[in-house]
Structure 1
């Protein structure tokens, strides 16, 4: 997930209709469309691709996260309207792998020869062994973004190595949250319980479903229970700003300095910069995340079968996900590639960010990426996950305590599955 772009429903509908009715070829050029959610930083790369391939014209269709994925489901069901290349976020990949008859098998075009290009766990997400659904773009290995000035005001360490030692795991994070809130009652420690919960959950090999048989295990998985109760406990003590990521409230909270920490994948740094503006420069810093590294976000480029030019679409996807282009995206937009040759590249590792106090973000995120392990997402993950997020919200708005919210989340998740 990246910067969210809002569009009205009529505008999105018109865009999809236009794409469905537009000719595949125009002016003697082969016309390709690529659909993404939010900004992937592709504009300069597409311009470069068109210069390298003067017979190709590429249109980038950008909508918000929910509209994009709901629209794709409709387009695949009706057999019309899908772009030639479509980005799919990692949480939706398991269910679309079950609908692989709607997609071109990229192995037919030589994708298997590229397997070693990606981290093994990333490649495994986009392939079921023989069929290759998509080529990996970025990933969301985690760090911790924090406000140095607010830590100083609370009498806490401010240097990134000292902050990491202060909070090596999530229980230590919760203890620090309590101390911070006691010393600075006008500021919250975390943006939301949901962010803490998600970071913890993404460090577990299994979440709501069993990797063995995809059965629902959230009600008995200690990783889910522990993440919910720790993050819910922080919320119950009033130590979160109740500002959900990607909302206007979150942007305002960033600008006003209403909270001191947020678990942040690399792609979130640009959102913090955008929300914080010039006034936030130098106040934020980045250090390692509590606990083991986890992955939050990341996408794949797929080629729906309904397109008129699947081979050309594959070539575009292959070029955009090549190490050379992925390196450019990190250095220009901070979008962390899922390819070891890139995140271990000396120029990437040495990359710093002046907005975050010249934090060595290349080194921090590369080290986090190197520790990533597979995180199983069930086929119904996208249906179940929101129920637990809404339950944490009820703790933050004081309508339920942690026990009540947990019981409701489990019950409603089970109801969704039925």
Structure 2
């Protein structure tokens, strides 16, 4: 495999601490691309059987995981944790094995992009999980809709539109004036991307809620709600039926676009829109990440060393490439991002763009990991997003802001 040689043959020693017959439980959600990899690992380790429990949705999975952790039993030997729920476990490092202590010695920080590795470190230094995939952000857009509006529409030509958030909103005004149609899908999708670029988020490193004190959050709120009031938002809640169909009907012209979103767009926009959607290696204010997960080993595991070896192997560069080929999960390991098999991939639906190369480039633009304190993900999901939807439905931006702050206070108390 090009670019993936050297010490990554098994993501660790590839051996277990004993030859006893054991069963390891692995819990994931959505699509990690592990089905064939599990069979491969069992073939390499005759004494290990892996029971893989795959849950469809991340929300119910994480609720169950937190319940099992709190109850002291039932957690998987290897438990996946999505980055949006990472803050819920980083505050409980005593419930997890430190992978820097129990994992294979050749699994070191430099295997991963620095921000990916650092995001899984608790304040006490415990490494909660090995990084799996990532969701580096680019911008997707409808070429035909921008062309019809008299705007630049080729992937190189549109980059100035997406250079900063100010240029993005200015382009939105141009598009709305020319077409009378929405520029983006929802205020919350834009706000969340802006929020995750800030040096400090909703909660600071002292685990103090700073949604009111952090002036940058309110500035982003004001920019987004003002753009929405000027007609730029399609007011479609992400992953709703209306949002899904919006890709096909041209309900919005642009989409904040992590690597995995290409599959969503292709699936929802359908074959009749092939070649109309495009992606460019630009994102306002540089870059960002939306999505990705980690493999953790809770203290409840009766086979922590073997579990850590499995997690290390599944997240090694060679396996990340295989998972990407199977399900499109974008690698987080440096050698995987340099692999010819990744960089040479093309996406016919998006005009034959080299999507592997494009998103590998965007992964390098992601800034330092923002600290995610307790309740951070819940604030996004249950405070700011519903409040932004309320503004889209007629509430004033100031009333929406008060709703968001009050809800965040209830979550963080």
Is TM-score (shorter-chain normalized) higher than 0.5? yes
- The structure-2 alpha-carbon separation of the partners of 1:388 and 1:111, relative to structure 1 and needing over 3 Å to count, comes to farther
* Aligned equivalent of 1:388: 384
1:8 corresponds in structure 2 to none
Note if 1:299 corresponds to 2:293: yes
> Matched residue pairs, number?
388
Please give the alpha-carbon distance, in whole angstroms, between the structure 1 residues aligned to 2:178 and 2:133.
38
- Matching residue of 2:72: 79
Tell me the alpha carbon deviations over residues 220-270 of structure 1, each in whole angstroms, 9 at most, x when there is no partner: 323312221222222223322222222222212123221111101112211
* Residue 34 (structure 1) shift: 1.4
TM-score by structure 1 length? 0.87
User: Is 2:143 the partner of 1:151?
Assistant: no
**SS in structure 2 at match of 1:246:** coil
Matched residue of 1:160: which SS? Answer: coil
Alignment of 1:398-413 (within 5 A): 398=394, 400-413=395-408
Alpha-carbon distance in 2 for matches of 1:241, 1:168: 22
Q: Which runs of 5+ in 2 are unaligned?
A: 1-19
Q: 2:41 aligns with which of 22, 42, 49?
A: 49
1:360 Cα deviation from its structure 2 partner: 2.3
Question: For residue 189 of structure 2, what is the aligned residue in structure 1?
Answer: 195
Gaps of 5+ in 1: 1-27
Q: Select which of 264, 268, 281 maps to 1:275.
A: 268
**Aligned counterpart, 2:58:** 65
RMSD of equivalent CA atoms? 2.0
1:363 aligns with 2:376: no
Q: Hey, what's the Cα distance between the residues in 2 that align with 1:397 and 1:121? A: 37
Runs of 4+ in 1 over 4 A off after TM superposition: none
Out of 82, 92, 95, which is 1:102 matched to? Answer: 95
Q: Is the 8 A contact 1:177 1:239 kept in 2?
A: yes
Query: Could you tell me whether the CA contact under 8 Å between 1:107 and 1:130 is conserved in 2?
Result: no
Measured against aligned partners, the alpha-carbon deviations of 1:93-115 in whole angstroms (never above 9, x if no partner) come to 23313322222232333356422
TM-score (norm 2): 0.88
Shift of 1:415: 3.3
Residue 166 of structure 2, aligned match among 135, 152, 171: 171
Q: Which shifted more, 171-180 or 232-241?
A: 232-241
Q: Distance in 2 between matches of 1:117 and 1:132?
A: 14
1:204 to 188, 198, 201: 198
Q: Tell me if the contact between 1:203 and 1:292 (Cα under 8 Å) persists in the aligned partners.
A: no
Query: By how many angstroms is 1:301 displaced?
Result: 0.2
Once residues 237 and 29 of structure 1 are traced to their aligned partners in structure 2, the CA distance between those partners, rounded to angstroms, is 64
